[in-house]
Amino acid sequence: MFESLTSSLDSIFRKLRGYGRLTESNIREAMREVRMALLEADVNYEVARDFIAKVSERCVGQEVLESITPGQQVIKRVHDELVLLLGGRQSHRLELNPRPAPVMLVGLHGSGKTTTASKLAALWKKDRLNVLLVGADIRRPAAVEQLGVLAQQVGVDLLAPEKGETVPALGRRAMDLAEAKGRDVVLFDTGGRFQIDEELVQELKDLREAVKCRNTVLVVDAAIGQESIHVAGVFHKALELRGLILTKLDGDARGGAALSIQSVTGCPILYTGVGERAGDLEPFYPERMASRILGMGDIVSLVEKVQESVDLDQAAGLEKRMFSNRLDLEDFLAQLGQLRKMGPLENILGMMPMGGQIKAKMKDAAGAGQNFTRFAKRAEAIIRSMTPKERRHPDILNASRKRRIAAGSGTQVQDVNELLKQFDQARQMAKQLSGMQKRLRHRR
Ligand SMILES: Nc1nc2c(ncn2[C@@H]2O[C@H](COP(=O)(O)OP(=O)(O)OP(=O)(O)O)[C@@H](O)[C@H]2O)c(=O)[nH]1
Ligand SMILES: [Mg+2]
């Protein structure tokens, strides 16, 4: 969501790096441009003004002007200030002791509470926490059902309200049950409204009292822009939030809200929602986000993502086969599967240094991501329609085999040929790489 901010900052910084020496007026000019870029990204006016004042103050000293890399020095100061703006260097986390720890997700209608509840449950489950999900949205009849479906998908138990049960009574029952069963976290999905109103706040306060919850978390939709800051302020005042979860950061909002919300409300961002799937929730780290916004990439998150999705044994085997020139369509299939497990291509690009530029070149990154997904699905279907022997030895594929495979995968012979061509290119590339590696080894 920060694409255009990242690309404006990138061109400002490129200009700065170009100067051998910087004068105060160069810096002032750059700061004016940074301020414009922030405002265009929908950053709160006062936040942008304070930000620029602070960075400028730290940039005008001798240290920057006399450094051999003045441009880099300015960028570093922008980065440091951005980290502070996003919440500073300490990481804000939920307090999950003593156990069982109640956690309440609150927020406006449609902000993503129910989806986020299942994502959080999945995340905690992976950390070996024993989670109980509670459907405490008793007003909308389908709400508990929706949570039930999601809970089943991520394999976490759900407690549903009984007929006529009030929210606080349900809360107490959930805590008793969790205590008895040795659960670690009890996660409440609550009901939302279009507007924050007395009745909603009272219901949430009653639940909080009943379960003695110290982790009330606001789920807020980043797509509503500056309004999200207002919403967060009001909820924080009424319910003493522990923190925020900002959803729909994968959308096309300009991101200013994400940049301003912590500094305006004093309420830290804990996680961000970056898609609709169970895995699309990321712990929020101000430092990593700042690097991503400045186009430096977020290598740490990227590596974590790769570690999570890639089967290392499989990767080692692949590398060996690749360098011994024995790549086949089984490998191709495995690779496609792993790439797809890492999530949408555009999310991954956003974490890579220069990824922003690649994305811009791809004109429409979302389109490219979808194209890739479509390509990968078709390729998988085609390869799965082959016999093991055909996968290992694609050279035996004659016209009649191709016709059979096309029919089996619901594609055309032309698609099969296209895939074989792409595979051949990949194999050629592997050959060149392995040649290069051998020469390098030889030289050493
Ligand atoms: N793209 C995207 N969509 C999301 C994200 N989080 C939630 N959604 C979608 O937003 C819509 C609303 O999400 P819900 O979880 O039902 O919202 P809610 O706050 O529980 O809504 P109510 O229960 O009606 O108050 C759903 O279609 C979700 O798939 C996200 O991070 N990215
Ligand atoms: Mg809901």
Taking only the tens place, the pLDDT of each residue in 144-163 is 999 999 999 999 999 999 99
Ligand 1 pocket test, pick from 200, 276, 280 with the greatest ligand atom count within 8 Å of Cβ, gives 276
Q: 276 near 58, Cβ under 8 Å?
A: no
Residue with CA at minimum distance from ligand 1 atom 21: 110
Distance CA 239, CA 85 (A): 23
Q: What was the pLDDT predicted at 324?
A: 67
Tokens of 384: 């799965």
Q: What is the tens place of the pLDDT at every residue in 54-63?
A: 999 988 777 7
Give the list of residues 6+ apart from residue 444 with CB closer than 8 angstroms, or none.
none
Q: Phi first, then psi: give them for residue 414, nearest 5 degrees.
A: -55, -40
Please compute the mean of the pLDDT values over residues 156-171 and round it to a whole number.
Answer: 96
More confident position, 61 or 100: 100
The CA–CA distances, whole Å, from 89 to 83, 149, 287, 290, 386 equal 7, 37, 7, 11, 52
Query: Above pLDDT 90, what percent of the chain?
Result: 49
Q: CA nearest 410: which of 385, 375, 374?
A: 385
Residue with CA at minimum distance from ligand 1 atom 17: 112
Give the list of residues 6+ apart from residue 225 with CB closer than 8 angstroms, or none.
42, 253, 254, 256, 257
Distance CA 79, CA 84 (A): 9
Residues bordering ligand 2, an ion, CB closer than 5 Å: 113-114
Please count the other Cβ atoms lying within 10 Å of the Cβ belonging to residue 256: 25
Is the pLDDT reported for residue 103 higher than 90?
A: yes
Distance CA 339, CA 236 (A): 40
Q: What was the pLDDT predicted at 383?
A: 92
Lowest mean pLDDT among 42-51, 196-205, 246-255, 325-334: 325-334
Protein residues with CB under 6 Å of any ligand 1 atom: 107, 109-115, 137, 143, 192, 247-248, 250-251, 273-276, 280
Is the pLDDT reported for residue 254 higher than 80?
A: no
* Local structure of residue 161 (DSSP, 8 states): P
Please compute the mean of the pLDDT values over residues 266-295 and round it to a whole number.
Answer: 90
Q: How confident is the model at residue 68 (pLDDT cuts 50, 70, 90)?
A: confident
Please compute the mean of the pLDDT values over residues 11-35 and round it to a whole number.
Answer: 87
Q: What is the average pLDDT value for the chain, to the nearest integer?
A: 85
Ligand 1 pocket test, pick from 104, 113, 115 with the greatest ligand atom count within 8 Å of Cβ, gives 115
The CA–CA distances, whole Å, from 119 to 124, 189, 313, 407 equal 9, 12, 28, 38
281-283 and 101-106: which strand pairing?
Answer: unpaired
Q: Phi first, then psi: give them for residue 254, nearest 5 degrees.
A: -85, -5
Q: 107 near 235, Cβ under 8 Å?
A: yes
Is the pLDDT reported for residue 143 higher than 60?
A: yes
Q: What was the pLDDT predicted at 292?
A: 83
Q: How confident is the model at residue 442 (pLDDT cuts 50, 70, 90)?
A: low
Please compute the mean of the pLDDT values over residues 280-308 and round it to a whole number.
Answer: 77
Residue with tokens 């799965």: 384
More confident position, 195 or 405: 405
Number of the ligand closest to the Cα of 223: 1
The CA–CA distances, whole Å, from 205 to 85, 106, 307 equal 30, 11, 41
Q: How far is the CA of 248 from the centre of ligand 1 (A)?
A: 8
Please count the other Cβ atoms lying within 10 Å of the Cβ belonging to residue 68: 8
Residue type, 53: A
Lowest mean pLDDT among 1-10, 28-37, 207-216, 265-274: 1-10
Give the list of residues 6+ apart from residue 428 with CB closer than 8 angstroms, or none.
none
Q: CA nearest 40: which of 5, 75, 14?
A: 5
Lowest mean pLDDT among 179-193, 287-301, 361-375, 416-430: 361-375
Q: What is the tens place of the pLDDT at every residue in 335-354?
A: 777 777 776 666 666 666 65
Q: 16 near 30, Cβ under 8 Å?
A: yes
The length of the chain is 444
Distance CA 2, CA 255 (A): 6
Residue type, 237: K
